[in-house]
Amino acid sequence: MDKEFKVTPWEVSGEVDYNKLTREFGVRPLDDKITAKLKSRTKDLHYFLRRKIFFSHMYLDKALDELEKGNKFYLYTGRAPSGPVHMGHLIPWIFTKWLQDKFKVTLLFQIPDEEKFLYNQGLTLEDTKRWAYENILDIIALGFDPKRTKIFLDTEYAGHMYKHACMAAKKMTFSTIKSTFGFNDSQNIGIIFYTAMQSVPAFLPTIMENKKTRVLIPCAIDQDVHFRLTRDVAESLGYPKPATILCRFLPALTGPKGKMSTSTGEHATIFTTDNSDQVKTKINKYAFSGGKDTVEEHRKKGGNPDVDVSYQWLTFLEEDDKKLKKIHDEYKSGKLLSGELKQILIDKLNAFLKEHQKQREKARNQVEKFILKD
């Protein structure tokens, strides 16, 4: 297998070695000690934690320690809108919602509508704004607390952000940005500046609360690089360093490498607005199988759940550990055929999406309750 991989906020390719990434990014593994500490507050552990889908962190211990002293953190996550929301996007948000429920804290949800505009030649700001409001429906559909959730588009909230972005930007040289993101001189000055805007929501809680207030950022590991820069400048600006809790990528349907991404093929991506037939077709046609070539051989030798994408997806979607283990074991033994495994995933996805789509429609009337504007 290809051992080369690349993880940047704009590109994930190859087979990601998450342990290596944890070391390279200088973050901490989400080990039993920190998980136990979290559990002492939340009483139970989300299955994303039990299964190491969230696998590393930075300063989660500090955020929890501060909580002990009565200092609440804010949650902060985001979505750069450049197209429809797919299942991969939902993973950190589902977890963020769980954290909000457990800790009853405020969530800042940044929609950097300028980011993908600045990065992708083909996108206009009208495109990204349109996608922003489409994507917000998916966010609201997950059930965030409207009293504790503030969603904002960078271009609409810039009046409150630009000043603070400048303060961060003054401490970030192009040399640093260049080496951090692998940029070169042909990058446009908007995307060069952008990371300073992504720092700002890490500062806003302190400004809003008028006392030092840390953010805890649940996100996929590719975003940590932005927050590494934020951590470098935060304290000298009078803000606590942001804490992060980082997840793996939902694998692409077509194989266990990289992450599912609209850009790698729309046909093989499960969007939140897909109907049950589309889901069925996509899974049956594209979900990479860990099964054997013939039923006979499969029955005899069993399938390989470690590479089977349908099984991998179920680790993200099937909450029940026992059910999941049964699927794992039966697939490995050959009792469960690839087609049957796919059907389990199809049913799971369609049940999820049916409810999600219902909530997504309801969300259309709730947008105003969530949005922060200048």
Residue numbers at the binding site for a copy of itself (CB under 8 A): 114, 117-118, 125, 154-163, 165-167, 169-175, 177-178, 183, 185-193, 195-196, 374
Q: How far is the CB of 187 from a copy of itself (least distance, A)?
A: 6
Q: Is 70 left (phi over 0), alpha (psi -120 to 50) or beta?
A: left
Q: How far is the CB of 211 from a copy of itself (least distance, A)?
A: 19
Report, in Å, the least distance between residue 237 CB and a copy of itself: 11
Minimum Å gap between C-beta 185 and a copy of itself is 4
State which residue, 172 or 217, has the beta carbon closest to a copy of itself: 172
Spell 274-309 as b/e; 16+ CB within 10 A means b: beeeebbebbeebbbbbbbeeeeebeeebbebebbb
Nearest CB to a copy of itself, comparing residues 190 and 265: 190
Provide the token pair at 292: 């054997």
Tokens 């997950």 belong to: 142
Residues 255, 154: Cα–Cα separation, whole Å: 34
Contacts with 305 (C-beta within 8 Å, 6 or more apart), sequence order: 290, 311, 312, 327, 328, 331, 332
- Closest approach of a copy of itself to the CB of residue 199, in Å: 11
Name which of 2 and 185 has its Cβ closer to a copy of itself.
185
Q: Are 139 and 110 in contact (CB under 8 A)?
A: no
Q: State the Cα–Cα distance between residues 131 and 81, nearest whole angstrom.
A: 5
Q: Which residues contact 294 (CB under 8 A, 6 or more apart)?
A: none
For the CB of residue 116, give the shortest distance to a copy of itself in the complex, in Å: 11
In terms of CB distance, is 41 or 170 closer to a copy of itself? 170
Nearer to a copy of itself, 26 or 174 (CB): 174
Q: Which residues contact 71 (CB under 8 A, 6 or more apart)?
A: 211, 212, 213, 214
Nearer to a copy of itself, 70 or 122 (CB): 122
